[in-house]
Amino acid sequence: MIPYTDHSAWRAARRGLTDEEIEYVHYYGSRFRGDGALIYFLRKHDLPPTDRRIDWVNNLIGTALVFSKDGNTLITVWRNRRSGLKVIRKKENHYSRPSGK
């Protein structure tokens, strides 16, 4: 079971995502690091061929799970089927930023 923050539990409920659906995105989604977080994003080609005809699975395409930097706590969830991956790729990667003074 994935540990949730109060905010992520509220957002998941608001978006109608069940624990099973969140686990599915976490398992099959592509993993990205950006903006000081670990992001799992489910793309169409991430779906196993056997699952591509299942309606509830297809409805998950474009779902993002934002985890804490260490990947242990779910911070928030959102959906953007059309341009979600573009949003993720534009995020600054804090891990590659020079430490600044």
Domain boundaries, the chain: 6-90
pLDDT at site 97: 44
Q: In this predicted structure, what is the pLDDT of residue 23?
A: 96
Backbone CA torsion sign across 21, 27, 28, 32: positive
Q: Whose CA is closest to 46, among 56, 36, 31, 66?
A: 31
- Looking at residue 85, its pLDDT comes to 73
Lowest mean pLDDT across 12-16, 60-64, 97-101: 97-101
Alpha helices (H) along 2-46? 6-14, 19-28
Mean of all residue pLDDT scores within the chain: 85
Cα angle vertex 16, ends 35, 37, to 5°? 10
Q: Greater confidence, 45 or 86?
A: 45
